[in-house]
Structure 1
């Protein structure tokens, strides 16, 4: 996932979304790499937002420099999604990554988790709307 985020090279007004839903996020070096990319994207001017399921994930994001205004916690959300509306892989695109992949060391090294990449504006817009709903109406952390 850090590599996916590493392929975002620019954000511009109206094309600046880097939104992440992560059911699990741990304090491993793997998750730290993902968070470092989120911090890099924030410094580029991207609209970085993260929704996590667990309070521990929220605490890790905050401890690693993600602004509290960019983090929500929703204990009912088990989603694993990255929504990009930015310059990704050298082109301005709308892309969504969705699957079973948690932002944990286990998912990166031992589990058989997967993400599907869809580069399609119509599909991405559906995920943008779903994310907006979740962002506006979060429920308590697990």
Structure 2
């Protein structure tokens, strides 16, 4: 909630500063001012959505832990934990394809059966648009 308040206040301050600078200028400049404020606000809104947990459409990491998959309408929402970063898991939005559905269904079946699976991006993999291939991780169980 604090980030939203900061961004709204920055937008208001930005608008006021430009208005003060251009208040004695003709109407055409005021239109430019309004458009620049709108573009600035839309840019900040997109950045807020990226940080609030909404699914992103950005590129997938090279290797990742698949935690959960949800099919919704014509897309998949996939919860992924990136191995290269120590951040929290992230939601990714993937476009629907039959091959991708088969790959993700196999991964979810393995996960529900207690197996650990990771996703790897392989550009030579033509099975789906994203190049996702599933690999199994062997669990190391300590001796008693």
Length-normalised TM-score, structure 2: 0.26
Greater RCO (Cα-Cα under 8 Å, separation 6 or more)? 1
